[in-house]
Every structure is written in structure tokens, then in C-alpha cells.
A and B are shown apart, each in its own frame.
With several copies, the nearest count.
Chain A
């Protein structure tokens, strides 16, 4: 089965980020989106640890232990960027000032509930970080994830079985098979990977899909 590669997924998300957007990219796959923003398009990257106007990784030898992103990787600051403390940083999120937040997910429900912080396994050590703030804070929450689990089950579900991160917070899913909007009228398919039909996508997904009007 044809699938979008991770860099293709990142490019697809990047393409949907308009100039001037304030954007938080979650750790993991979403971080890759930064590398695919069209050159010359000014997008403002926010990092939960108190950075706005975050730039790319520094050149080797220019790493700075005081300048890291949410994933604790060295980053840079663009001219025009700013630093602020954690309460101000999360006020930006919670106050609805970010246009877009891109997160990974274990599951997304048909209503836009998100599960991405905890497998719920009895022996797992929980860690939530900024996931719950990001999920409910931005004007739009995008999810990037593989469409299916390793065992082939749909990660888009009627009801999340993993512990929730946020309720009805996801606007759009970018999977490796499709781009799907979550709307009041259900899941609307915006785009499907080449070579896969709508009916095939529907078969692979746990929940009713609709053609985007």
C-alpha cells in the first residue's frame, strides 16, 4: 500500500501553514514540519519553554545549553524573536494566541478527542508535559500520525481507548494515508494518498468518512 513518507507528511502540513501564523510544533514527527516551511514564508515558531521566533538547529559548535526546544534539542533564535517565562509562554497557548499547534497522537476520535500522552499501561510512567495545554490552546490543532497501528488497527476511532489529552480539540488529521478534517458533520476527507481509493481508505478506518464538500 502506498503511503506518504514522514517528510511528505511534514511538507503537506507545512504547506497548510500560512505566512504570519504563530505555530507550535510538538516533539517528534511534528518537529519535522519546520524543515519544510517554504523559503521566504515568515512563520512564527513558538516553543513552550519560552521562545517565540525559534530558528533552526545551530551550526555544529554553536550549540547553546541555554537555547533548546521543547524536545531539549539545541535551536537558535531568529532576529525578531523573544524570550519569556513559562507562565507567559503557556498563557500564549491557553489564551488562544497560537494559530496552529501540530501534535502526534496515539488515537483521535471522530469528535476530535485526542489521546497522545499515555498508553495507560499499568507499568508505564506517565508524563504529560505541555501536551494538554497545546491540545486545547491553539486556534487549530493538527494531528500528524500514521493511519494504522503496527498491528493494522485504525488510529482514528469512534471513542479513544487510551487516556485522553483533550476533548474535541483536533481540527485536522494528517495521516500517512489521508488528510481528514474533523467537523460537526463528521470526518471529511480532504486528500488521499495516490493509489488509494476512498472506499479502501474507508475500509482501513474505524469510523465513517465523508467526501469533503
Chain B
């Protein structure tokens, strides 16, 4: 019987190697797998390349991983924020390499890795400093830049619920990078707030089929959440 549920964060993260390319889900705090990041700090792998939309907020989560000195390079779209002081300091001190990627190209490069696409032409960033020196091509009268896939050794993502086959559903806008990162890594580890019986997830609504997930670990819900699924039209008007 296949059972992808890990007993603990420690067990789930045990074999992450120094030098690994680690994708970490999340857009700001939403979808950030905080417990897995904390586990990675405890686990201690170093010289990591991290792929994330941001570069950490405040002193926790990804920022704490950076502060611990475990990251050599970060590939992201939006590092500078009001509370990105950890990143800012390391970057200014030349202790952290930055590859800045427009957000849509970042997402599509991750998706390309998962889908076996060798490279693709994107219109985003053409003519800007972020595409300087890159291969370009005119297709049907529009200019494009050649973009390469981003593969990872490990993806750490946060989902809402999962089953023992590794099927995942997410919650609201915490979905963001999780589903595509799961496809792009050789080892995908997902934290979930609920482990459910096989068959409990609607097969029409599974967002990440288990084929993309190697380990699942349950963690308590820490963030604020509202059970009000949608606002009423009246309240919204």
C-alpha cells in the first residue's frame, strides 16, 4: 500500500542535500510553507539555491532561512519589500546571489520544467534590462525572449488537504506557485492542514494529482482564516 504521509517534518526533510535547488511556494505569506522552512533551517542543508516569488518578509519563514546563512542564491521576482531587511542586508553585503525574473516568466519557466518543455519564447521583458544579452526572435510581428525551464531538486509547498496517494487541494490564493512547483521538482514535499481518506477529495477538484507529490506532512493551521467563502453581492456592492 502506498502511503506518502510522513510522520514528521524532520522525517520528510531528512535527505535534502547541500547545494540543492529548492523551490518554496508562496506569494508573500500566502502559501508559504512556514513549518517546512523552519524544518529546513533545523535540518541544516547549506549552499542552497532558493526559487520563490519573494525573498522573505520580516524575520520568519524564508527570511529566517536566509538569515541562517543556508542560501547561496535566490531566483525570484520581487525581493524588495518594506520588511525584506534580511535579504536587503545579505544582498548589499554581496553574500547572496540574485537572479531577478519577471513573475510570469518565473511561473512559466517552472511550469515548463514540469511539462518537459526545453525552452520557450516569452514576450515578457523584451527590450528591458532583464532580457539583456538574451536570444530574441520575432514571431508573427511580435518580439520574444527565449526562456529556459527551472528544474529543482526539492519543492516545499503548502496545501490545504492531501491523501496518502499525494493528491492535493489548496485554499484560496494560497494556491499560487504550489501546483507548478510540485511538477518541477524531483522531490516534492507538501505540508497540509488535513490528511483525508483516499477518495475523499473530489476527483474533479484535485489540483495536484499525487504523481507530482512524494511526501505529505500534516501541520497545524497557524494563519488567520475566514470560513466566509465569498462576500455576498450586496456586501460587495
A-side interface residues toward B, CB under 8 Å?
19-20, 22, 39-40, 42, 44, 46-53, 55-56, 58-59, 62-68, 72, 76-87, 89-98, 118, 123, 125-133, 136-137, 163-167
Contact = CB atoms under 8 A, between A and B. Distances in A.
Given A89-B107, A92-B211, A97 B183 contact: yes
B237 A39 contact: yes
Nearest to A65: B223
A167 B127 contact: yes
B5 to A, nearest CB: 13
A42 B27 CA distance: 27
B82 to A, nearest CB: 10
Interface stretch (B41-49, B60-68, B166-174): B166-174
A128 B226 contact: no
Contacts of A82: 167, 201, 203, 206, 209-210
A91 B108 CA distance: 8
A80 B167 contact: yes
Interface in B74-113: 77-81, 84, 87-88, 91-92, 98, 100-105, 107-108, 110-111, 113
Interface in B179-215: 179-180, 183, 198-199, 201, 203-204, 206-207, 209-212
B107 to A, nearest CB: 4
A210 to B, nearest CB: 26
A87 B117 CA distance: 12
A58 B226 contact: yes
Interface of B: 1-2, 27-31, 53, 77-81, 84, 87-88, 91-92, 98, 100-105, 107-108, 110-111, 113-117, 122-130, 143, 163-165, 167, 170-180, 183, 198-199, 201, 203-204, 206-207, 209-212, 223-226, 228-233, 235-237
A94 B80 contact: no
A184 B58 CA distance: 46
A185 B111 CA distance: 36
B72 to A, nearest CB: 18
Contacts of B172: 64, 66-67, 77, 83
A125 B88 contact: yes
A64 B212 contact: no
A82 B29 CA distance: 20
B114 A91 contact: yes
B233 A67 contact: no
B167 A55 contact: no
Given A87-B107, A136-B124, A94 B102 contact: no
Contact of A42 (B1, B105, B116, B173): B1
A76 B163 CA distance: 20
Contacts of B81: 127
Nearest to A52: B209
A130 to B, nearest CB: 4
A166 B78 contact: no
Given A82-B203, A95-B113, A126-B80, A72 B230 contact: no
Given A58-B226, A132-B128, A165-B128, A127 B79 contact: yes
B30 A65 contact: yes
Q: Which of B78, B128, B177 has the most C-beta atoms of chain A within 10 angstroms of its own C-beta?
A: B128
Nearest to A22: B211
Given A76-B231, A93-B104, A65 B77 contact: no
A85 B173 contact: no
A72 B115 contact: no
A107 B98 CA distance: 26
Q: Which of B165, B180, B228 has the most C-beta atoms of chain A within 10 angstroms of its own C-beta?
A: B165
Q: Which 4 residue pairs are nearest across A and B when measured between Cβ atoms?
A: A79-B199, A94-B116, A90-B104, A91-B115
B78 A55 contact: no
Given A66-B171, A85-B178, A91-B108, 9 more contacts: A64-B172, A68-B29, A82-B206, A91-B111, A94-B124, A97-B183, A97-B211, A125-B92, A127-B100
